[in-house]
Structure 1
Amino acid sequence: MSAMIIQYRTRPEAAAENRRLVEAVLRDAAREEGIQYAAFQHEDGVTFVHVVAENAGGKLDRLPAFAEFRRGLEPRTEPGSRTATRVDVLGLAVRSVA
């Protein structure tokens, strides 16, 4: 299985809204089988990191909260700050801390 690690910076005034939207995606993803999704906010308050692995591709794209998150992503983020890296998953041992 592979996963994607996505990192970006939001505009300072959009960080709180971005976090709210990410938290909604996390709630929806937790109810779906086959999606492993984790999100992190750096100490700087504007850098976010998402790690996504899916057993059955495309499930995340069908979540209503993810559609809402994606809809306004471009205006919330700093231009040129987004990176995405595909990695091989060696294993997952993740528990929610929220």
Structure 2
Amino acid sequence: MNRVIVQYRTRNEAADENQAAIETVFAALAEGDPEGLSYTSMRLEEEEAGTVFVHVAEVRTEDGSNPLAALAEFGEFQTGLPDRTVEPPLARQATVIGSYRPQ
């Protein structure tokens, strides 16, 4: 299993455009319903230095392939990202210590 957290800061004037691009990715995920992927994106409060976005992906495919990377809409999102950000995205592997979800 592979877990990745990606964080980056957009220019404030590009934050809504970035959110719309993310929403397009989620619409494609809902339509394709790929197995072996959990994906969450969050927009943090706007700051003077830009708006921070955080993405959390968990890949659980047998062969280790990432269904998100195969999605055309995700590729388009990534292609436009440098034009919207003020700094390169920071991606880090993550290990879950605990998780709580009420039943």
Q: Same fold (TM over 0.5)?
A: yes
Deviation per CA, 1:54-73, whole angstroms, max 9, x where unpaired? 11222111111101101111
Alignment of 1:1-80 (within 5 A): 1-30=1-30, 31-44=33-46, 46-56=51-61, 57-80=65-88
The residue matched to 1:18 in structure 2 has which SS?
A: helix
TM-score by length of structure 2 reads 0.78
Q: Bigger CA drift: 85-94 or 62-71? A: 85-94
Counterpart Cα distance in 1 of 2:71 and 2:98: 24
RMSD over aligned Cα atoms: 2.0
Q: Give the partner amino acid of 1:26.
A: F
The residue matched to 1:20 in structure 2 has which SS?
A: helix
Structure 2: gaps spanning 5 or more residues: none
Structure 1: gaps spanning 5 or more residues: none
| CA 89–27 in structure 1, closer or farther in 2 if over 3 Å, else same | farther
Q: Bigger CA drift: 26-35 or 58-67? A: 26-35
Q: Give the partner amino acid of 2:15.
A: A
Q: Percent identity?
A: 38
| CA 93–33 in structure 1, closer or farther in 2 if over 3 Å, else same | farther
State the structure with more CA Rg: 2
Counterpart Cα distance in 2 of 1:5 and 1:50: 6
